[in-house]
Copies of this chain bind each other. A is one copy, B any other.
């Protein structure tokens, strides 16, 4: 490459080279770049995506393909000729292949699986047989295993023989003749051991394994707590089925949290990047919850209707309805997201419910009192301004009773918001539902209706015989 080209950005160099249509130069250029830079090129030049993939060395094309968005992957598979697709899919590690295929319609999966070699086809079909979001779907059958009676030298020979096709050699797995998992050994221990030692002598019998049916979120926790870059996956009989590598966990963590955040915001999980979701699917994912919330909020109209006579007598009461309602909603959203997050990372479990409840009762009282005092003084100050004619007098002679109504309502509403916001995720989890469903809007809606009832009840208490 000329010195001049070196100084251009990768994108500029690519634009230059792709126009020469010199296949050799293009593939030489692409093979020199980092995997992540090539992925970036595909983002920038979607028109050339299939061309980029097919002009790279196969093992590098696979590494790029793995990290692309599902939308890009689909496009590329659509554009590639069948023989290229077959090459790519056969070379793709089994776990990444499963990951890609599970996003496709059933009919397309069937066509693509036909392109696989018999061996790969068998593996893929078995991986696709595990439940969605289970460890089985993340598993790769490409790992290095040895036996207890092997010497360290034999282990090295095994590694040399199988390393090429194995996802990692950072951890080696020890099994017995029945295929049961005995232990795992870090490559470090093998390198440090003398060649004539037996595997049996260097293992420590401490192995942490994942069950093939374990939830992926659970696997994430196990990885966090155990210093391993790969964990073995076994079935109910402790037979070693495959391994899961830690890099998959970064994607799992990302996905889980994205889903949680979307649910907290009151949307179904999108499963695709925001900009890639087709418009009507986006609406579909959002409208369900909005309608449910809307129908529930109609109860506020019913509640307000019920108090219509009171409002007619004291219009001033209606002025504070939005303030009271939103304070309950805000404190509720705050409490529910705190608890959802704490449960997601395992800081809070079901058996902590009483500790959470106690904390939130005190929190609700404290926060409510603070807002109540501010609300009280807001009305007192406005009253002074009104008395001196600075603004229109809305409160009249009973301003003090109104101020107390608002102040005490705030304590009640914030306490109720905090309490229901924090308990709802726990109750949902208790009944097997996803705590993240108790989204901020959901809690706000729940609190709105009760908030109105609290407010008008307190108003009756303070203003009966005066304004009401």
Contacts and interface: CB of A to CB of B under 8 A. Distances in A.
B371 A291 contact: yes
B311 A315 contact: yes
A348 interface: yes
Contacts of A355: 275
A337 B392 contact: no
Interface in A297-332: 297-298, 300-301, 304-305, 308, 311-312, 315-316, 318-323, 325-327, 329-331
Contacts of A113: none
A468 to B, nearest CB: 14
A394 interface: yes
A192 B163 contact: yes
Contacts of A224: 67, 247, 250-251, 254
A340 interface: yes
B163 A188 contact: yes
Given A274-B338, A297-B326, A342-B274, A265 B440 contact: yes
A264 interface: yes
Interface string A64-79: 0011000000000000
B293 A320 contact: no
A293 B326 contact: yes
Contacts of A275: 342, 347-348, 352, 355-356, 359
Q: How many copies does the complex hold?
A: 2
B366 A283 contact: yes
A107 B283 CA distance: 54
B265 A333 contact: yes
Contacts of A290: 327, 330-331, 334, 367, 370-371
A393 to B, nearest CB: 10
Interface stretch (A20-28, A34-42, A135-143): A34-42
A313 to B, nearest CB: 10
B308 A266 contact: no
Contact of A323 (B247, B301, B333, B367): B301
Given A191-B169, A227-B63, A329 B441 contact: yes
A341 B441 contact: no
A39 to B, nearest CB: 6
Given A333-B266, A334-B266, A334-B267, A250 B253 contact: yes
A315 B251 CA distance: 54
Contact of A441 (B160, B208, B249, B330): B330
A156 B191 contact: yes
B322 A367 contact: no
Contacts of A323: 294, 297-298, 300-301
Given A291-B371, A329-B329, A441-B330, A448 B312 contact: no
A13 interface: no
B265 A208 contact: no
Given A298-B323, A325-B322, A338-B265, A191 B163 contact: yes
Contacts of A45: none
A257 B253 contact: yes
Contacts of A191: 156, 159-160, 163, 169
Interface in A225-244: 225-227, 229
Contacts of A441: 329-330, 333-334, 440
Given A265-B337, A298-B323, 9 more contacts: A170-B187, A261-B261, A275-B356, A287-B370, A304-B320, A326-B445, A330-B444, A333-B440, A333-B441
Task: Give me the 4 closest cross-chain CB pairs, A-B, nearest first.
Answer: A265-B337, A300-B322, A273-B347, A274-B342
17 contacts: A168-B188, A170-B229, A220-B250, A224-B247, A224-B250, A249-B250, A257-B257, A261-B264, A262-B341, A265-B333, A267-B338, A275-B355, A290-B330, A298-B378, A308-B316, A322-B325, A326-B448
